[in-house]
Amino acid sequence: MKLHMIAKGVAPLMAALLLSACATPEFKQPQIDTPTAFKESQTPAASEVKTAADGTRWKQAQPAEQQARGEWWLAFNDTALNELIAEATKANANLAVAAARVKQARAIAGVAEADRIPQVGVNVGAQRSRPSALEAGRPQGSDMPLQTSYSAKLTASYEVDLFGRVSANVSAARNDAAGVEANYRSVLLALQADVAQTYFRLRATDAELATVEQTVRLREESVKVNQRRFDLGDIGEFDLSRAKTELATTRAEAIGLQRQRVTTEHALAVLLGKPAAAYSASVNPLQDSVRLPAIPAGLPSSLLERRPDIVAAQRAMEAANARIGVARSAMFPALNISASGGGVADHFSDVFKWSTRSWVLGALMSMPLIDGGRNRNNVVRSEAALEESVASYRQSVLTAFAEVEDNLAGLRILSGQTAQLDEAVVSARRSADLAQKLYDAGRSSYLDLLDAQRNLAAVERSAVQLRGNRAVTTVALVRALGGGWDKPASNAQASN
């Protein structure tokens, strides 16, 4: 009757605790002001983004839409680029670090999952002891015999998840693991984009170096011609000196570009996971006939799903929210159930006999009463961590939108520059040709010829640099969009 009355009194108390102890708050997605479309994609001149430097339309490679998730670089139809990215994916050290972190996070999540099921173990042991006479209830000084005992027991323990501590901890660990996997995809995308951009910078440098070397050859020929004319008395020493000065200056520019190429080559070697001294990239100038894919920007709302860094920020928020539940549950009772059973005997052969059996079954409910504010401050700390993660998420989204707009604007502006430089190249070549004819006919000075040749060299170099900038910006747009056109890049390496 007393047990019935106790149970009747405790039941409402437990029910009230269960109802009031919603340890883990419901996760609420932060409101983000997402535009309906990217501003740059609505610009009237945005269609110019698809115009190549030679006046043709950029054409997106047809196989690109059919590629496996994340293989965006195949749209460039460049076998060398494909090989470099595959090599970097296998050997890059930073990617290996990110993959190892994924394994760690998954293991931590597995540790948290283990708390959902009873923990079962076995204890087998032997003990030899001599108890004191007083402990055995005999007169002091009595001779006590040595005692030997053997035991074999099966033990089990289980925490009843009354207030969601275990489930909240599991949720936090799972979201942490998902966030680390998203970070892996972010590192992978960054690596792929860095390889592609470095590769195009190297090719652009090769093209610029080829243009400067062509100018060097023209200057060398000019020095030879002027030397002959000087020897014949047709021109003064001033024209010859200017020709030699221009030759030396142009050679110095070529040497500077060679240094730039070496530095870029070394950077590519590091991305490929190779020593700089062991890697040499073949000369492959970026021609004006290169076809770059037109990258569909899509809708801003889809960016929140495609960008791995935004996904990681999302998971961090959810993990922080779950940890509020872990902190709150520490303020409520915890119920642990334990059991053990086996045999204890003075001979090991008797341990497993039915007559030597022993067992223990218990339940322990514990709850903090005075903790000096420890648990309350842990709750405040976890709530502040959620606020921090929400702010980080908002910043990640804003940064992502800005990066897409930046690169869309960059491609649009580069397209306008391309159109103007195309006209400038044609005009500069015509001017240089006319200046050469007038100088050969003795109708203009060498300074006029030199000025026309300088203008042509400068315009051609600008066109080459613009070609490389366009390729690098196209890759940057792919990176800003999260890579690919349908799903994020796979993390095959991380799952191994």
Three-state DSSP string of the chain: CHHHHHHHHHHHHHHHHHHHCCCCCCCCCCCCCCCCCCCHHHCHHHHHHHECCCCCECCCCHHHHHCCCCCHHHHHCCHHHHHHHHHHHHHCHHHHHHHHHHHHHHHHHHHHHHHHCCEEEEEEEEEEECCCCCCCCCCCCCCCCCEEEEEEEEEEEEEECCCCHHHHHHHHHHHHHHHHHHHHHHHHHHHHHHHHHHHHHHHHHHHHHHHHHHHHHHHHHHHHHHHHHHHHCCCCHHHHHHHHHHHHHHHHHHHHHHHHHHHHHHHHHHHCCCCHHHCCCCCCCCCCCCCCCCCCCCCHHHHHHHCHHHHHHHHHHHHHHHHHHHHHHCCCCEEEEEEEEEEEECCHHHCCCHHHEEEEEEEEEECCCCCCCHHHHHHHHHHHHHHHHHHHHHHHHHHHHHHHHHHHHHHHHHHHHHHHHHHHHHHHHHHHHHHHHHHHCCCCCHHHHHHHHHHHHHHHHHHHHHHHHHHHHHHHHHHHCCCCCCCCCCCHHHHC
CB 435 within 8 A of CB 452: yes
User: By C-alpha distance, which of 124, 86, 120 is closest to 343?
Assistant: 124
Q: Which two tokens stand for residue 145?
A: 């015999």
Residue with tokens 């006209």: 423
In angstroms, how far is CA 31 from the centroid of its own chain? 24
pLDDT at 13 over 50: no
CB 487 within 8 A of CB 312: no
- Pick the more confident residue, 256 or 222: 256
390-425 per-position pLDDT tens digit: 999 999 999 998 898 898 898 889 888 888 888 888
| Sequence-ordered list of residues with C-beta below 8 angstroms from that of 147, at least 6 positions apart, any chain | 128, 129, 130, 131, 346
What is the Cα–Cα distance from 40 to 29, expressed in whole angstroms?
Answer: 28
The whole-number average pLDDT for the span 29-46 is 66
CB 245 within 8 A of CB 207: no
The whole-number average pLDDT for the span 286-306 is 78
The whole-number average pLDDT for the span 147-173 is 88
In degrees and rounded to multiples of 5, residue 339 shows phi and psi of: -150, 150
CB 18 within 8 A of CB 161: no
Q: Using CA of residue 229, residue 234, residue 236, residue 239, what is the dihedral sign?
A: negative
pLDDT at 52 over 50: no
What is the Cα–Cα distance from 485 to 306, expressed in whole angstroms?
Answer: 9
Show the CA angle centred on residue 66, arms to residues 64 and 67, nearest 5°. 70
| Sequence-ordered list of residues with C-beta below 8 angstroms from that of 180, at least 6 positions apart, any chain | 101, 102, 104, 105, 312
Burial 279-310 (b: 16+ CB within 10 A, else e): eebeeebbebebbbbbbebbebeebbebbbbb
pLDDT at 81: 94
What is the Cα–Cα distance from 336 to 366, expressed in whole angstroms?
Answer: 8
What is the Cα–Cα distance from 378 to 372, expressed in whole angstroms?
Answer: 12
What is the Cα–Cα distance from 72 to 485, expressed in whole angstroms?
Answer: 7
pLDDT at 493 over 80: no
The amino acid present at 446, given as its one-letter code, is Y
Percentage of residues in the chain having pLDDT higher than 90: 31
72-96 per-position pLDDT tens digit: 898 888 999 999 999 999 999 999 9
Local confidence band at 10 (pLDDT 50, 70, 90 cut-offs): very low
- Pick the more confident residue, 235 or 121: 121
pLDDT at 176: 92
pLDDT at 131 over 90: no
Residue with tokens 């995809």: 185
Q: What is the mean pLDDT of the chain?
A: 82
pLDDT at 23: 67
What is the Cα–Cα distance from 164 to 171, expressed in whole angstroms?
Answer: 10
pTM of the predicted model as reported, rounded to 2 decimal places: 0.80
- 370: phi > 0 → left, psi -120 to 50 → alpha, else beta; which? beta
pLDDT at 110: 93
What is the Cα–Cα distance from 89 to 188, expressed in whole angstroms?
Answer: 7
